[in-house]
A and B are shown apart, each in its own frame.
Chain A
Amino acid sequence: MSRTPASEVDTFESAPCGYVVVDQRGVIARANAEFLRLLGSDADEVVGVRTFSSLVSPGGQVLLETHVRPILDHAGVVRELALELVRSDGGRVPVLMNARLVDGPARTVLVVLVETRDRHRYEDYLLAAKAAAERAGQESAVMAETLQQTLIPPRPPVVPHLEIGAAYRPAGSGHEVGGDFYDVFQVAPDAWEVVLGDVSGKGINAAVVTSFVRHTVRSEAIAHPDPADLLHALDVAMREHGTEHHCTLAVVRLDRGASGWTLALSLAGHPPALVRRPDGQVVELGVPGTPAGLVTDPAFCTVHHQLGDDLVTLFTDGVTEARAPTGELFGDDRLVELLAGGAGDPHVTAAQVVAEALSWQAENASDDIAVVSFAAASG
């Protein structure tokens, strides 16, 4: 078998890629065998007859005009552009193109093309997978939002003789279900329960526990008028449930009698309620207790308080543990100051506390924030 010496090989004609020379009018001046094979055409149908642009798909023609030509003028070379050649039989051949502008007045462009059928199929698969992932992301965001709405009432119910304000802001972008929740519901003709809690963790597992906690509290509330008893019942249910998540809560039972509202409060490892007196003084209310579902010897204690003209605020640690970009905590003192300086309106207070905690961390909540404020309705 005789072989052609390497020095005599026609490197243009024999190049293992499509290779064309394009003149300044855009017309193909030379084309090698591989290029003609890709196109399924004879040399006399292409060389000196067709512009390079007319051999690619319409979308490719736009890319050649709007991107390739200016880049060639500017940088002299374009690499790795994906195009499709249109064969004489109408079929398409996916290719990757490199092109170089040759120095000189003739403005000649050298173009090489490599067929990429297999890669093309793989890319199609990648693009489909990317689109599917984007869809899944959107669906999960919608699901998180929908789920969140089942855990957080859009607004607290109207309770006669009581004003209740609530505000909630999930952490981050809102694409995940948070662990904070609150609930307000009636347990007797003149008695209401206000609950605010924070389930450890995030995502769908935490949401399941949040839902479980919320429904357990609701179903046990009538049988357990004392909030500490209610928390014991919840604690047992959570440990029987076998969840790895635990929960901190503030449970308030409000009874309305002849002398106005009486308040019974129990905490499960939760920050105390803050009571703002009409003179602006702010005091803590509640005995911390242990988180529900966490320890084998839980301790919950109920304290009682005559509501009078006080404003009571329940909050999650998303408020006090908000961190400024400098690292500084929002902290208890700042919250107390905010409440003391406020007007005492529950709706304004709840909205203001969430807004301040958010602005403290430059509108980028690192944790959920939930706030419920209430006071006796005037008149």
Chain B
Amino acid sequence: MEVGGALNATMTGPSGAPVLVFVHGFGCGQQMWRLVAPAFAQDFRVILLDLPGSAGSDPSTYDAERHSTLEGYADDILQVLRELAVDDVTFVGHSVASMMGVLAHLKEPSLVTRLVLVSPSARYVDDGDYRGGFSQADVDDLLAMMERNQLGWQGALSGMVAGESHVAARAELDDSFCRTRPDVALHFATVTFTGDNRADLPRVAAPTLILQVRDDLIAPISAGEYVHEQIAGSRLQIIETRGHAPHLTDPDAVVSAMRDFMPVGAA
């Protein structure tokens, strides 16, 4: 099976139009982009996908070893782009996927040529003068909380792990779009919240737009400003909303900032 199919990837839009790939972060799947992606459907080719182990991706796509770093995720996304035979791609990554975008660009600078980093953070845990917003105790608390919240849904999802049709198993869960295999969710959270991509930022050579929410508990302004300072020539735009997902809370502002930043579409 091609990686793209297994990751529930779709590409829509006029042939030859510039390409946008939207990648969701920790928690939920491609549905997170439902208020933003359609705004580009007329004049861009829009690629949506679910990360390995998340939402509608095939459970077999997740490999505990490959996905113990963000590099493994970046490799999978690049593989999808190669299968779709696209080039000159604008990578729109939310939260932890913003760092996947950075890594994908560094690996294949001619394939991923622009970055839109939505609520990015290069490191969630404070370190010396660096303010990621979390202490190690906070991260431990999160992992303990996630483990506790697995109790209820382990049974419902065990069939997926065993290889039963994951579509059928997921149908039982009305909010399946936000479900991740419990073991994967815990591992993904660990990889996300213990990662450190600060050293990667100065090497970014792509035009970069950073969308920072004014009031975000998970990626505070100090985190967005750090990314902005470290990526030469990047543009930082503050979205006047609250929460970690401006594409849900203020999609119009996200669309308009992206429109300003990107080349004109096909229409």
Does A63 contact B146, Cβ atoms closer than 8 Å?
yes
Q: Which stretch (A70-78, A311-319, A347-355) binds chain B?
A: A70-78
Does A67 contact B27, Cβ atoms closer than 8 Å?
yes
- For residue A100, CB closer than 8 A to chain B, the reply is no
Main secondary structure of the interface of B (DSSP, over half): helix
- For residue A81, CB closer than 8 A to chain B, the reply is yes
Does B244 contact A58, Cβ atoms closer than 8 Å?
no
Specify the chain B residue showing the minimal Cβ separation from A124.
B148
Does A70 contact B28, Cβ atoms closer than 8 Å?
yes
Q: Nearest Cβ distance between residue A93 and chain B, in whole angstroms?
A: 14
- Specify which chain B residues have a CB less than 8 angstroms from the CB of A75 in the assembled complex: 174-175
Does B242 contact A26, Cβ atoms closer than 8 Å?
yes
Most A CB within 10 A of own CB, among B26, B147, B217: B217
Specify the chain A residue showing the minimal Cβ separation from B124.
A62
Given contacts A73-B248, A74-B31, contact A62 B178 (CB under 8 A): no
Given contacts A70-B27, A80-B152, contact A65 B218 (CB under 8 A): yes
Which residue in A62, A71, A80, A123 is a CB contact (below 8 Å) of B142?
Answer: A62
A57-89 to B contact mask, C-beta < 8 Å, 1/0: 111111101110111011100101111100000
Q: Nearest Cβ distance between residue B126 and chain A, in whole angstroms?
A: 12
- For residue B25, CB closer than 8 A to chain A, the reply is yes
- For residue B88, CB closer than 8 A to chain A, the reply is no
- For residue B261, CB closer than 8 A to chain A, the reply is no
Specify the chain A residue showing the minimal Cβ separation from B138.
A58
Given contacts A66-B244, A69-B245, A73-B248, contact A59 B28 (CB under 8 A): no
Specify the chain A residue showing the minimal Cβ separation from B144.
A59
Does A74 contact B149, Cβ atoms closer than 8 Å?
no
Does A65 contact B148, Cβ atoms closer than 8 Å?
no
Q: Nearest Cβ distance between residue B44 and chain A, in whole angstroms?
A: 24
- For residue B127, CB closer than 8 A to chain A, the reply is no
Q: How many A-B residue pairs have CB under 8 A?
A: 84
Given contacts A53-B217, A74-B178, A75-B174, contact A60 B245 (CB under 8 A): no
Does B142 contact A63, Cβ atoms closer than 8 Å?
yes
Q: Nearest Cβ distance between residue B154 and chain A, in whole angstroms?
A: 9
- For residue B151, CB closer than 8 A to chain A, the reply is yes
Which residue in B25, B135, B146, B248 is a CB contact (below 8 Å) of A69?
Answer: B248
- Compute how far the CA of A270 lies from the CA of B209 in the bound complex, rounded to whole angstroms: 72
Q: Nearest Cβ distance between residue A126 and chain B, in whole angstroms?
A: 7
Q: Which chain B residues (174-233) contact chain A, with CB distance < 8 Å?
A: 174-175, 177-178, 193, 217-218
Specify the chain B residue showing the minimal Cβ separation from A62.
B142
Q: Nearest Cβ distance between residue A309 and chain B, in whole angstroms?
A: 47
Does B32 contact A70, Cβ atoms closer than 8 Å?
yes
- Compute how far the CA of A75 lies from the CA of B137 in the bound complex, rounded to whole angstroms: 32
A-to-B contact residues, CB < 8 Å: 25-26, 53, 57-63, 65-67, 69-71, 73-75, 78, 80-84, 123, 126-127
Extra contacts besides A69-B245, A75-B174 (18): CB < 8 Å = A25-B242, A26-B242, A59-B143, A59-B146, A62-B218, A65-B217, A66-B25, A66-B27, A66-B218, A67-B28, A69-B248, A70-B28, A70-B32, A70-B178, A74-B177, A82-B151, A127-B148, A127-B151
5 tightest A-B contacts by CB?
Answer: A66-B27, A59-B142, A59-B141, A58-B138, A59-B145
B-to-A contact residues, CB < 8 Å: 25-28, 31-32, 95, 134-135, 137-149, 151-152, 174-175, 177-178, 193, 217-218, 242-245, 248
Interchain residue pairs with CB less than 8 A apart (22): A26-B242, A58-B134, A58-B142, A59-B138, A63-B142, A63-B145, A63-B149, A65-B217, A65-B243, A66-B244, A67-B178, A69-B243, A69-B245, A70-B27, A70-B28, A74-B31, A74-B175, A74-B177, A78-B175, A82-B149, A83-B145, A126-B151
